[in-house]
């Protein structure tokens, strides 16, 4: 899956897949993580795991790649579908959240750095 000059591969860079395949694999994986009660407990009083933050960071880092791909490869189509407000709202909230809690490194955001800086500019 590409985002401009950057290419993302599945399984930490070992498997080359198309964007739809990548997104499908990613969403399946994220759902597995969220449904895992050892990571995201549902019952009363069950504690979160000590490395909970690592799990969250990994999920959000990979989600960024989907946004990067959409903005780089599909934004004109998004505009044609009149869906840009929805996309921008979701990304805006995502970005504010990960920025507030420092969940994604800046290096990871380079593919759409100008957009990121525009949103985060005080």
Partner 1 sequence: MDTARAWLKKLKSKGKEKSSNKKETSRGNVKEGSKTAGGEEAVSNVTKQKAAAAKQYIENHYKKQVQSQQQRKERRDMLENKLAAAEVSEEEQKNLLKDLEKKETEYMRRQRHKMGTDDFEPLTMIGKGAFGEVRICREKTTGNVYAMKKLKKSEMLRRGQVEHVKAERNLLAEVDSNCIVKLYCSFQDEEYLYLIMEYLPGGDMMTLLMRKDTLTEDEARFYVGETVLAIESIHKHNYIHRDIKPDNLLLDRSGHMKLSDFGLCKPLDCSILQEKDFVVAHNLSGALQSDGRPVAPRRTRSQMEQLQNWQRNRRMLAYSTVGTPDYIAPEVLLKKGYGMECDWWSLGAIMYEMLVGFPPFYSDEPMTTCRKIVNWKNYLKFPDEVRLSPEAKDLICRLLCNVEQRIGTKGANEIKEHPWFSGVEWEKLYQMKAAFIPQVNDELDTQNFEKFEETDKQVPKTPKSGPWRKMLSSKDINFVGYTYKNVEIVNHDQLPGIAELKKKSTKPKRPSIKSLFEDESASSTTSHQGSFMKLLPTQIEVPEKEDKSSSSSETLSSSTTRFDNATS
Burial of residue 104 (CB within 10 Å: 0-12, 13-18, 19+) is buried
C-alpha–C-alpha distance, residues 115 and 118, integer Å: 5
Token pair in block for residue 77: 């189509």
Q: Which stretch in 6-14, 50-58, 75-83, 99-107 sits in contact with partner 1 by CB under 8 A?
A: 75-83
Q: What's the min distance (Å) between Cβ of 86 and partner 1?
A: 5
Q: Identify the residue among 81, 96, 97, 105 touching partner 1 (CB under 8 A).
A: 81
Which residues would be at the binding site for partner 1 (CB under 8 A)? 27-28, 31, 35, 40-42, 44, 71, 75-77, 79-86, 88-90, 114-115, 118
């Amino acid at each position: 899956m590409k985002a401009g000059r950057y290419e993302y591969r599945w399984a930490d860079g070992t498997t080359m897949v198309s964007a739809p395949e990548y997104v499908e694999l990613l969403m399946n994986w994220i759902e597995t993580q969220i449904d895992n009660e050892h990571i995201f407990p549902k019952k009363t009083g069950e504690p979160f795991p000590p490395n909970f933050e690592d799990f969250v960071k990994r999920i959000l880092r990979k989600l960024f790649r989907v946004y990067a791909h959409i903005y780089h490869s599909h934004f004109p189509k998004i505009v044609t579908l009149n869906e840009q407000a929805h996309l921008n709202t979701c990304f805006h909230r995502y970005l504010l959240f990960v920025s507030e809690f420092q969940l994604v490194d800046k290096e990871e955001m380079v593919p759409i750095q100008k957009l990121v800086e525009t949103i985060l500019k005080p």
